[in-house]
Amino acid sequence: MSTKLNIGLFGFGCVGSGLYKVLHETQQIKANIERIVVKDRSKKRSIAPELYGFDKAEILENPNINLVVELIDDAEAAYEIVTEALRRQKHVVSANKKLIAEHLDELIDLAKDNGVSFLYEAAVCASIPVIRNIEEYYTSDVLSRLEGIFNETSNYILTQTDAGKSYDEALQEASDLGYAESDPTLDVDAFDAKFKLCILVKHAFGLTVEPKDVFNYGIRHIKQRDVRYAKEKGLKVKLLAKAVKLNDKLLAYVAPHFIPADHNCYAIDNALNGVTVEGLFSDEQLFKGQGAGSLPTASAVLSDISALLYDYQYEYKKSNVLTDLSLTQDFKVKVYVGSTDAKRLEELSFLHVEENYQSADYYYKTGWIRFEDLLPLNLNATADLFVAVLPENEVELASQPKVEALNYV
């Protein structure tokens, strides 16, 4: 790109103000923020009033602005902004993972039809350059697995519950530190991680998956008895997003996992994120870094702005390869199910039970279940029941009767 990038910035919150800071501190990028549009008229800001306004037309109808950077937390409003910007032949950089996951193919087509770029490195794990690496480094490799910790709030909470705190105590601490929103649902119920997983699946496997078709179950029902079980087995609880290729099928889901000490994510704690990519030729590689925050996320936005100076576009090469790959829920997985009420354990139908523990005030089962049996349960809304995946590989489901073998320990 021969011309200078003139940026219209939507949003001046945590990430927007971070971008303003890093853009003014770097000397290597020929770009300037020409106009900032914000929503809250009453909020005091650290920039001069003449730099910002409140009408999206101030950016979208400005012919001098050739790049729109969208950093707001309203996915519906972001959709209107991004689609109009692309139609007006302006490049777009976004960090809105919900917007992207729900409308990715449409946005890809809009950008292509209008001859502009649509980039969103900051939408997935902030400072970790995982999208660009999958697009470039792994372009000729056949990927078989993608998994990791995609949400910093949940990871911080699980780090604290592992240290002995209750879920409520850990959530309050995460809120006090600015990791958790006033309504933490998207984080602790694993929606945020699911949106990020859907985006990565497109780049890693070439498959478009709708968020509604991907199972997400979070951590809000974890109890210290569940943590104690993990410790007794030499395991640790982590919320993992996973996409695994099994022959011509792809399984993708987000759920708590009990992981062993040799797992890549075992030592990734607090607000850090980690992504493991496994390929046929490259084997297994781990990307680790800050998964959120003002400057880490702003640095990812800045990397996209820098890439636009060289006319960079995602090529989605995996999508151009003819494949019969499709999303499946037809597999089995080994799980732990714990509750203070023995009757709650009956809500899951086991193919085979390996452990069935009973005490005066706590009960758990472990064993294999059909993954599709989890889908109608709405586990995020089911109190006093905690489910976690045990460290066994998922297996394609063969026709098996639902027989329970009880083993009391």
Q: What is the CATH number of domain 331-396?
A: 3.30.70
CA distance 219 to 48: 42
pLDDT at 46: 83
The full set of domain ranges for the chain reads 5-123, 331-396
pTM of the model: 0.94
pLDDT at 1: 54
Q: How long is the chain?
A: 409
pLDDT at 322: 61
CA distance 403 to 409: 19
pLDDT at 50: 87
Active-site residue set: 196
pLDDT at 408: 32
Q: Does domain 5-123 have CATH number 3.30.300.180?
A: no
Per the CB < 8 A criterion, the answer to whether 51 and 59 are in contact is: no
pLDDT at 403: 41
**What's the CA angle centered on 148, arms 74 and 82, to 5 degrees?**
25
Question: Which positions ≥6 away from 109 have C-beta within 8 Å?
Answer: none
Q: Tell me the torsion sign for CA atoms 159, 161, 164, 169.
A: positive
- Convert the chain into a string of H (helix), E (strand) and C (coil): CCCCEEEEEECCCHHHHHHHHHHHHCCCCCEEEEEEECCCCCCCCCCCHHHEECCCHHHHCCCCCCEEEECCCCHHHHHHHHHHHHHCCCEEEECCHHHHHHHHHHHHHHHHHCCCCEECHHHCCCCCCHHHHHHHCCCCCCEEEEEEECCHHHHHHHHHHHCCCCHHHHHHHHHHCCCCCCCCHHHHCCHHHHHHHHHHHHHHHCCCCCHHHCEECCCCCCCHHHHHHHHHCCEEEEEEEEEEEECCEEEEEEEEEEEECCCCCCCCCCCEEEEEEEECCCEEEEEEEECCCHHHHHHHHHHHHHHHCCCCCCCCHHHHCCCCCEECCCEEEEEEEEECCHHHHHHCCEEEEEEEEECCCCEEEEEEEEHHHCHHHCHHHCCCCEEEECCCCCEECCCCCCCCCCCEC
| pLDDT per residue of the chain (409 residues) written in tens, 0 to 9 | 546 899 999 999 999 999 999 888 887 788 999 999 999 888 888 888 888 999 999 999 999 999 999 999 999 999 999 999 999 999 999 999 999 999 999 999 999 999 999 999 999 998 899 999 999 999 888 899 999 999 999 999 999 999 999 999 999 999 999 888 889 999 999 999 999 999 999 999 999 999 999 999 999 999 999 999 999 999 999 999 999 999 899 999 999 999 999 999 999 999 999 999 999 888 999 999 988 888 899 999 999 999 999 999 999 999 887 678 999 999 999 999 999 999 999 989 999 999 999 998 999 999 999 999 999 999 999 999 999 999 999 998 744 444 443 343 3
